[in-house]
Amino acid sequence: MKVKFLFLGILCFFSMGAQDYIASKPDPSFPDPLNLRANWWEYFDATGEELQQKTSNFIEYLQKIEQKIPPEYSEQTGLLIDKIRNHLHAYSMQELAIVLPLNPKSYLQEYDLSAFVDLAERLWANTQNMQVDQMRIRLMKESIRKEEKSLDTLLSSYLGEEPSYEKMIKGLRIISTKISLVIDQDRMIVMEEQWKRQEKENAFTEEEVMFARQHLLLPSIAAISSWDAEINDVKSSLKKSQENVIQAQKENALFREKGYEAADVTRSMQKLLQASVQEAQYRTLLIHKEVLKAFVQLGNSKKVSVIVLNAQIEKWLEEMKNIQKDLKGAQEFSQLTFQGIFQSSSALDAHEFVKEDLLELTEKTLLDIQTEEKNLFVAEFLIDQYSLLVQEKYSTFFSKIQNFAYQFILFFKVHVTWFSESLFKIGDTPITPLALLRFLIFITMTYFIAAFLRRMLRRLGEKKRRLSSAALYTISRLVFYCVLLIGIMISLSILGIDFTALAVIFGALSVGIGFGLQAIVSNFLAGIIVLLEKKIRVGDFIELESGEKGMVKGIDVRSTLIKTSDNLEIIIPNSELVTKKFTNWTLTEKIRRVRIPFSVAYGSSKEQVRQVVIEAAKTISITLTEKEPDVWLIALGESSLDFELVVWVNEYLAISDRVVGTISRYLWVIESALVKNNISIPYPVREVHITKQ
- Identify the CA nearest to 367 among candidates 395, 338, 387, 340: 338
* pLDDT for residue 633 is more than 50: yes
> Residue 532: what pLDDT?
65
* pTM to 2 decimal places: 0.53
> Residue 222: what pLDDT?
79
Average pLDDT over residues 303-315: 78
> Residue 236: what pLDDT?
92
> Residue 49: what pLDDT?
81
Strands 641-650 and 424-426 come out as unpaired
Which residue would you say has higher pLDDT here, 411 or 361? Answer: 361
Least confident of 385-394, 528-537, 608-617: 528-537
**Percent of the chain predicted with pLDDT > 70:** 74
Q: What is the pLDDT of residues 360-392, one digit of tens each?
A: 777 888 888 888 889 999 999 898 888 888 877
Least confident of 24-38, 303-317, 415-429: 415-429
Q: Which residues of 619-642 are buried (b: 16+ CB within 10 A; e: fewer)?
A: ebebbbeeeebebeeeeeeeebbe
> Residue 283: what pLDDT?
92
Q: What is the pLDDT of residues 214-257, one digit of tens each?
A: 888 888 877 788 888 889 999 999 999 989 889 888 888 887 77
* pLDDT for residue 12 is more than 50: no
Q: What is the pLDDT of residues 174-183, one digit of tens each?
A: 888 988 888 8
To the nearest 10°, report the CA torsion of 259, 262, 263, 268: 60
Which residue would you say has higher pLDDT here, 532 or 74? Answer: 74
Least confident of 144-153, 180-189, 678-687: 678-687
Q: What is the pLDDT of residues 533-545, one digit of tens each?
A: 667 777 777 777 7
What radius of gyration do the chain's Cα atoms show? 49
Q: How many helices (H) and strands (E) does the chain have?
A: 17, 10
What does the alpha-carbon distance between residue 507 and residue 385 come to, in Å, rounded to a whole number? 53
CA 183, 184, 187, 189 dihedral sign is: negative
* pLDDT for residue 513 is more than 60: no
> Residue 201: what pLDDT?
86
What does the alpha-carbon distance between residue 617 and residue 595 come to, in Å, rounded to a whole number? 12
Q: What is the pLDDT of residues 255-297, one digit of tens each?
A: 777 777 777 777 788 888 888 889 989 999 999 999 888 888 8
Mean pLDDT, the chain, integer: 77
What does the alpha-carbon distance between residue 253 and residue 260 come to, in Å, rounded to a whole number? 11
Q: What is the pLDDT of residues 87-121, one digit of tens each?
A: 888 887 765 455 556 666 678 888 888 888 898 88
Q: What is the pLDDT of residues 555-608, one digit of tens each?
A: 776 778 888 777 788 888 877 777 777 777 676 667 778 888 999 888 888 888
